[in-house]
Amino acid sequence: SQTIHQWPATLVQPVGSPLSLECTVEGTSNPNLYWYRQAAGRGLQLLFYSVGIGQISSEVPQNLSASRPQDRQFILSSKKLLLSDSGFYLCAWSAISEETQYFGPGTRLLVL
Amino acid sequence: DQQVKQNSPSLSVQEGRISILNCDYTNSMFDYFLWYKKYPAEGPTFLISISSIKDKNEDGRFTVFLNKSAKHLSLHIVPSQPGDSAVYFCAARGKYGGATNKLIFGTGTLLAVQP
């Protein structure tokens, strides 16, 4: 069966510090991968998606970037965090031929 | 512009009764709809979905209804149980989604099932 991992689970970072969140998927090959953010009291906003290694599409202009160095690894990064980057970050995967996305456990990021 | 809307931020229901969660959308090009359940500090869990060529899909206690003319879908949970208490998100996929399967999510409805 497929599983998706995210780490860390919780992160507290000062403003201006760098960020690296990692997501890995097991049990499937060539998945579509997604990064979402859920701000407090709001829905899920798609930040990035990837259909293959090195292929990244950005949905909204922001202070973050994403990379996919391996087939089942998706990384969310920032060079300098802003207060507004605080939120709950979710990674998800889907099979190319399927509509359903499956989410990881999420990372709660607090920027102080 | 919010293409998928969940106008009720919260809903309270008695255990054993029916819970009805609603979702409206504006884009007639959406071809697939999904419902997710989310507990605090956890990732959303897929519940049930429906293709735009259908008007109803049922899975155990969960039924999703789609009214394309009204651009409205609803999730019925019956009977409701305290463990159903969570935030429920509806999501839609556009026909442009293709291989990317991008979804657009609503803002969620917090369901509280009272014992």
Q: Give me the pLDDT at residue A105, please.
A: 96
CB-based contact (8 Å) between A104 and chain B? yes
Whether B31 has a pLDDT exceeding 70, the answer reads yes
**Whole-number Å distance between alpha carbons of B107 and B91:** 10
**Whole-number Å distance between alpha carbons of B27 and B78:** 29
Q: Give me the pLDDT at residue B100, please.
A: 66
* Probe site for chain A from B3, B45, B103, B109 (most A CB atoms < 10 A): B103
Whether B37 has a pLDDT exceeding 90, the answer reads yes
CB-based contact (8 Å) between B1 and chain A? no
Return the bridge partners of A36, or none.
A46, A90
DSSP β-ladder status, B109-114 and B10-14: parallel
Q: Do A49 and B102 touch (CB under 8 A)?
A: yes
Torsion, CA B59, CA B60, CA B66, CA B67, rounded to 10:
150
Taking only the tens place, the pLDDT of each residue in A67-106 is 999 999 999 999 999 999 999 999 999 998 788 999 999 9
Six token digits for residue A81? 């965090």
**Whole-number Å distance between alpha carbons of A46 and A101:** 12
**CB < 8 Å to A100, chain B:** 34, 46, 49
Phi, psi (deg, nearest 5) at residue A56: -130, 130
Q: Do A44 and B105 touch (CB under 8 A)?
A: yes
Six token digits for residue A22? 């990692």
**CB < 8 Å to B104, chain A:** 46
Q: How confident is the model at residue B98 (pLDDT cuts 50, 70, 90)?
A: low
Share of chain A above pLDDT 70, in %: 98
CB-based contact (8 Å) between B25 and chain A? no
**Whole-number Å distance between alpha carbons of A75 and A77:** 6
Phi, psi (deg, nearest 5) at residue B3: -80, -20
Six token digits for residue A102? 């499956």
Q: Do A104 and B89 touch (CB under 8 A)?
A: no
Q: Do A51 and B100 touch (CB under 8 A)?
A: yes
To the nearest whole Å, the CA of A39 is away from the closest chain B CA by 10
